[in-house]
Amino acid sequence: MLRSDRFLDTRSLPGRAIFSYEKMLADSLRGFLAELCLINAGVFINYIEEEKGENINDIVASSAELTIKPGLLRYGRHATVESSWGFPPEVSIDLELHHASLAAFFRVVFEAQAVAVHLDGILFREALGEPDENLQRFANALAESRLACQ
């Protein structure tokens, strides 16, 4: 059970606040996302449809190895593929970022012309603070999660 004094549910935030978190997360993951986009889409979709979680986790880990410290970014054990005849598929993958001070739960959505990051929530190790403090704690965790060459 999640303790409400430590969990920041993005559904409780105003749109502008959510955007700040999601933009910060997307910017931090830019290198990882670029690597993930290089994966053969057909193979990736097959892994999702066949529920080959370990293969997906390996793809996530290898895509993150140049930009994010080892073991911090993980496959969240859920992914979907939505497709309609004549249109490119939309792929959504749940991911988790585990830092010593927090765990962030989010989805990366691959659409025909864009990649989006949707933050679902953040479980802080310590109790929630003021909104600006929570955002700063998130920024610090993201900065500490990146490899030094970033």
Q: Where are the alpha helices (DSSP H) in 29-106?
A: 30-37, 41-49, 53-64
pLDDT tens, position by position, 95-141: 999 999 999 999 999 998 899 999 999 999 999 999 999 999 999 99
Asked if residues 140 and 102 have their Cβ atoms less than 8 Å apart, the reply is no
What is the distance between the alpha carbons of residues 150 and 28, in angstroms, rounded to a whole number? 9
Asked if residues 103 and 74 have their Cβ atoms less than 8 Å apart, the reply is no
Q: Residue 148 — very low, low, confident or very high, per pLDDT cuts 50/70/90?
A: confident
Cα 22 versus chain centre, distance: 9
CA–CA distance from 98 to each of 25, 63, 102, 126 (Å)? 13, 16, 6, 14
pTM: 0.92
Asked if residues 81 and 45 have their Cβ atoms less than 8 Å apart, the reply is yes
Q: Residue 1 — very low, low, confident or very high, per pLDDT cuts 50/70/90?
A: very low
